[in-house]
Chain A
Amino acid sequence: DIQMTQSPSSLSASVGDRVTISCRASQGIRNDLGWFQQKPGKAPKRLIYAASSLQSGVPSRFSGSGSGTEFTLTISSLQPEDFATYYCLQHNSSPYTFGQGTKLEI
């Protein structure tokens, strides 16, 4: 199985900050990676697909990069509504696997 190591597990930041979240795959997954945002009591929402493509309707302050084994999600200027938990997901091979999550807090 492919392991996804996500870091950090939690992050304190302020409105306007630039933040980066990382995911490392235990083996190469090409660009078969998505990033998801989850707010308390809500279903996850996809932000990024194919490692770097922005989901329609998602603000441009979100961006993704990487290929192979190293991936990052960047939020260029944090807004109050961005405080949530973020997950990466690899869908290169079964079983699909999520990162452990990053809780972004004020």
Chain B
Amino acid sequence: QVQLVQSGSELKKPGASVKVSCKASGYSFTTFGLNWVRQAPGQGLEWMGWINTITGNPTYAQGFTGRFVFSLDTSVSTTYLQINDLKAEDTAVYYCARDAVLDPWGQGTPVTVSS
């Protein structure tokens, strides 16, 4: 079945970097784009952007430019979210989700930024 499996929870210090992975299975990886969604503690869902799995071209929503990087490794059907220069306000659960219609979702990766 179609599945997105994300890497495990992360605890990082301010100023560090983190790389979250999202591995797809059950379908042809380059058929659909992949989105990233952030959910801060107790808050709603926020679309961060998406990556074209054919070209590797990323599109970032406002507020997610500069420190946020989407990338791909098509050989292992995986997309990555890297966040550089982490700040306390980056503490959130990060989800990947397939295609513009956001189905299915990965299980989420909690990222905690604390000194």
Contacts and interface: CB of A to CB of B under 8 A. Distances in A.
Nearest to B44: A101
Contacts of B102: 34, 36, 44, 46, 89, 91, 96
A12 interface: no
The A interface is mostly helix, strand or loop, or mixed, namely: loop
Contacts of B97: 44
Given A87-B44, A98-B44, A43 B101 contact: no
A32 B100 CA distance: 9
B44 A96 contact: no
A44 B45 contact: yes
Given A44-B95, A95-B62, A100 B44 contact: yes
Chain B interface size band reads: 20 to 34
A14 to B, nearest CB: 25
Contact of B105 (A44, A98, A99): A44
Interface string B90-107: 000001010011111111
A94 interface: yes
Contacts of A94: 59, 61
B101 A34 contact: yes
B68 interface: no
B46 interface: yes
Contacts of B59: 94
Among B46, B61, B103, chain A packs the most CB atoms within 10 A around the CB of: B103
9 contacts: A34-B103, A36-B45, A49-B103, A89-B45, A91-B101, A94-B61, A96-B47, A97-B47, A99-B44
Interface of B: 35, 44-47, 49, 59, 61-62, 95, 97, 100-108
